[in-house]
């Protein structure tokens, strides 16, 4: 019996490194989108717009695969350098809340679209790859949605989503730069936090 | 006065273009949007028209029309646009794509019951997205300033100039029978608007300056279409204090777009739509 347990734990130990091996970026995107959309498709509450439930789903399944610090840096742009580490953390936090809140709502719109993955063009040594997908919907033009991932110690992390050629992250740069110009980094943090508060209150009311 | 100003403006624009290229936006005004005052006024006007008329009608259509009807309507107008898309592909030197578009039109108009069904896409003839504005871009015409047209919405000056020709090239918009034509136009507009209803809330909530967000979205999306889905993308690193290091990103996509850029405008000092070309455009006006 002891030997059996020992053998079992040994084989488990042998298995562990294999499990820790990094999931390839395209497989990662495929499994996460597949899993999330499967849940959305079968959950009436989510389709009906149950914000709390959607946020919980996104929090659990989607967020671990994103690098929000890099996303925020790209959205803020040049002004990121003059932000203190505390301000950078505040910005990252506020921007994550905004993105999660607004784009989670988009999930409720999901009905009969089909996601097609286009072949991945990347070498084994690449540390940044773009996973390209096409969302098809009968009677409408297909929409290209690309996920840009970077390799980190904790596996591949998404740091940009490109919809129809438009980076949802860098598209914020124009407005963010404007905010920093008028109110400094603090002004941008305040604007983001105000917006998040408005959205939270709006969600609580509805 | 004008003559004396021009060289100064041009030098300023060049400097700014170089600054933009090197990633340093030093001018307070958005270089992509010299007409911002007018544009914001038009944007507000369009928003109120949409809120009062177009959006409610589109919501009604979305609510009343069953899904197969909506799909049929979408396919129908999409089909009528294909010959013009094919012609533009031909004008851009892409005969294979052009032939594919015309085959689509033939198949879908006949076997697809006057275009209500899209049987060409599953048969391996993909839908393309081309218009005269993109053709002009491929020929080397700069995009010009961003402009918001009343009722029609965001355009660049180049695309606005091409718009009348584009509309007359679309079969649905040039029928002889006036009342049918008007009904078609209205249905086309309402159907298109209905397709965007889902994005409304996200757009409304995700930004604190909807005008600027939409402008940047439109411009990026146009450049993407001009490059047929392979626009040059580069991610900077703003972490260090040193000059940004260009990461070795998307090497193949970048290489492909460089090839395209050279075809588009060999005389441009930088990637089209990325700064200098646009700057010079603006000051010439």
Cross-chain Cβ contact B239/A80 below 8 Å: yes
How far does the CA of residue A6 sit from the closest CA of chain B (Å)? 47
Q: Which helix (H) or strand (E) holds A76?
A: helix A68-76
Per-residue pLDDT at A20 exceeds 70? no
Instruction: Indicate the residue of A121, A164, A177 with minimum beta-carbon distance to B224.
Output: A164
Q: Is A149 within 8 Å of chain B by CB?
A: no
Dist. CA B174–CA B131, nearest whole Å: 16
CB contact residues (below 8 A), chain B span 45-84, against chain A: 70-75, 78
Q: Is A114 within 8 Å of chain B by CB?
A: no
Nearest CA in chain B to A163: B221
ipTM over 0.85: no
Nearest CA in chain A to B230: A165
Q: What is the pLDDT of residue B35?
A: 93
Cross-chain Cβ contact A80/B238 below 8 Å: yes
Averaged pLDDT score across all residues of chain A = 85
Give the pLDDT band of residue B63 (cuts 50, 70, 90).
very high
Which of B44, B49, B78, B114 lies closest to B192 in space, CA to CA?
Answer: B78
CB atoms within 10 A of CB B43: 19
Instruction: Indicate the residue of A101, A166, A179 with minimum beta-carbon distance to B224.
Output: A166
Q: Give the CATH H-level superfamily of domain A2-205.
A: Tgt2/MlaC (3.10.450.710)
Q: What is the pLDDT of residues B103-142, one digit of tens each?
A: 999 999 999 999 999 999 888 899 999 999 999 999 999 9
Q: What is the pLDDT of residue A138?
A: 80
Q: From chain A, pick out residues whose CB is under 8 angstroms from the CB of B212.
A: 174-175, 178
Q: From chain A, pick out residues whose CB is under 8 angstroms from the CB of B71.
A: 138-139
Q: Is B27 within 8 Å of chain A by CB?
A: no
Q: Is B231 within 8 Å of chain A by CB?
A: yes
Indicate the domain borders of chain A.
2-205
Q: What is the pLDDT of residue B240?
A: 62
Q: Is B171 within 8 Å of chain A by CB?
A: no
**Best-predicted range by mean pLDDT (A32-46, B33-47, B234-248, B253-267):** B33-47
Instruction: Indicate the residue of B78, B202, B248 with minimum beta-carbon distance to A105.
Output: B202
Q: What is the pLDDT of residues B128-179, one digit of tens each?
A: 999 999 999 999 999 999 999 999 999 999 999 999 998 888 877 777 788 8
Per-residue pLDDT at B255 exceeds 50? no
Q: What is the pLDDT of residue B29?
A: 61
Mean pLDDT over A144-155 rounds to 90
Greater confidence (B52 vs B269) lies with B52
Averaged pLDDT score across all residues of chain B = 77
Residue with tokens 């697809």: B112
Cross-chain Cβ contact B23/A78 below 8 Å: yes
């Amino acid at each position: 019996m002891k030997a059996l347990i020992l053998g079992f734990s040994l084989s488990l130990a042998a298995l562990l490194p294999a499990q820790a091996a990094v999931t390839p970026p395209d497989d990662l995107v495929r499994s996460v989108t597949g899993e999330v959309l499967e849940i959305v498709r079968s959950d009436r509450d989510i389709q009906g717009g149950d914000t709390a439930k959607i946020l919980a789903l996104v929090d659990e399944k989607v967020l671990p695969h994103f690098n929000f610090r890099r996303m925020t840096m790209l959205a803020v742009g040049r002004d990121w350098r003059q932000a203190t580490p505390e301000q950078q953390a505040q910005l990252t936090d506020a921007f994550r809340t905004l993105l999660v809140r607004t784009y989670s709502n988009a999930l409720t719109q999901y009905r009969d679209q089909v996601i097609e993955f286009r072949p991945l063009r990347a070498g084994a040594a690449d540390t940044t790859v773009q996973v390209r997908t096409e969302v098809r919907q009968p009677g409408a033009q297909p929409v290209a949605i690309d996920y840009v991932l970077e390799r980190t110690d904790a596996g591949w992390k998404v740091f940009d989503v490109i919809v129809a050629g438009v980076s949802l992250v860098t598209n914020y740069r124009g407005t963010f730069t404007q905010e920093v110009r008028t109110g400094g980094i603090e002004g941008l943090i305040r604007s983001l936090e105000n917006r998040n508060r408005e959205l939270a209150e709006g969600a609580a009311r509805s | 006065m004008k003559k004396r100003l021009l060289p100064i403006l041009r030098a300023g624009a060049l400097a700014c273009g170089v600054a933009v290229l090197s990633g340093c936006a030093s001018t307070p005004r958005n270089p992509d949007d010299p007409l911002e005052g007018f544009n914001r006024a038009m944007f507000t006007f369009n928003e109120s028209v949409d809120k009062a008329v177009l959006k409610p009608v589109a919501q009604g259509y979305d609510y009343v029309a069953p899904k197969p009807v909506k799909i049929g309507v979408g396919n129908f107008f999409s089909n009528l646009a294909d010959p013009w898309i094919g012609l533009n592909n031909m004008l851009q030197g892409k005969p294979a794509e052009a032939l594919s578009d015309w085959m689509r039109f033939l198949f879908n108009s006949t076997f697809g019951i006057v275009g209500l069904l899209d049987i060409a896409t599953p048969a391996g003839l993909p839908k393309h997205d081309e218009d005269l504005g993109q053709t002009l871009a491929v020929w080397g015409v700069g995009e010009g300033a961003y402009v918001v047209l009343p009722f029609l919405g965001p355009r660049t000056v180049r695309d606005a100039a091409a718009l009348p020709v584009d509309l007359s090239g679309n079969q649905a918009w040039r029928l002889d029978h006036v009342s049918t034509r008007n009904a078609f136009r209205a249905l086309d507009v309402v159907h298109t608007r209905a397709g965007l209803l889902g994005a409304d809330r996200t757009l409304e909530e995700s930004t604190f300056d909807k005008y600027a967000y939409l402008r940047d979205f439109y411009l990026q999306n146009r450049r993407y279409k001009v490059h047929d889905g392979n626009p040059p993308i580069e991610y900077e690193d703003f972490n260090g204090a040193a000059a940004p290091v260009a990461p070795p990103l998307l090497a193949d996509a970048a290489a492909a777009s460089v090839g395209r850029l050279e075809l588009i405008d060999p005389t441009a000092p930088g990637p089209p739509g990325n700064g200098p070309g646009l700057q010079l455009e603006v000051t010439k006006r």
